Structure 1
Amino acid sequence: MSVTDFDGSSTRYRFVGLRNYVELFSDGDAWSALLRTLVFAAIVVPLTIAGSLGLATIINRRLRAVGLWRTIFFLPSVVPVVAMAIMWKLVFNRDSGILNAMLGAVGIGPVAWLVDPMAFYALIVLMLWGLGGGMIIMLAALQGVPVELEEAATVDGAGKWLVFRHITIPMISPILFFQVITGVIAALQVFVQPLLLTNAAGIAAVGNVPESNTLYMVQVYKEFFLSNRFGYGSAMLWVFFLVILGLTLVLLRSSRSWVYYEVDTEAEREGATR
Structure 2
Amino acid sequence: MKTLFYRLLVLILFAAIGAGAGYGLSYTQPEKWKVTAQFEQPTIPDLGNYYSLLSTYHFLNSNSQEANSQTAQQQASEQVYAEFKRNLTSADLLQAYLLQTEAVKLKAQVAKKSPAVVAAELVEQFRFEKDMATSADNVSLIAENAEEAQKLLADFIPLVNTQARDKLNADLIAKWKVLFQQIKTASELNINGKQGSQDWAAKLQMMRSVQPLDNQLTAYRLVKSPSVPLKSESPDPPILADDWGIKWLTAGLYAQFCGESESSTCGTLI
TM-score by structure 1 length?
Answer: 0.30
Which has the larger strand fraction?
2
State which structure, 1 or 2, has the greater radius of gyration over its C-alpha atoms: 2
TM-score by structure 2 length?
Answer: 0.30
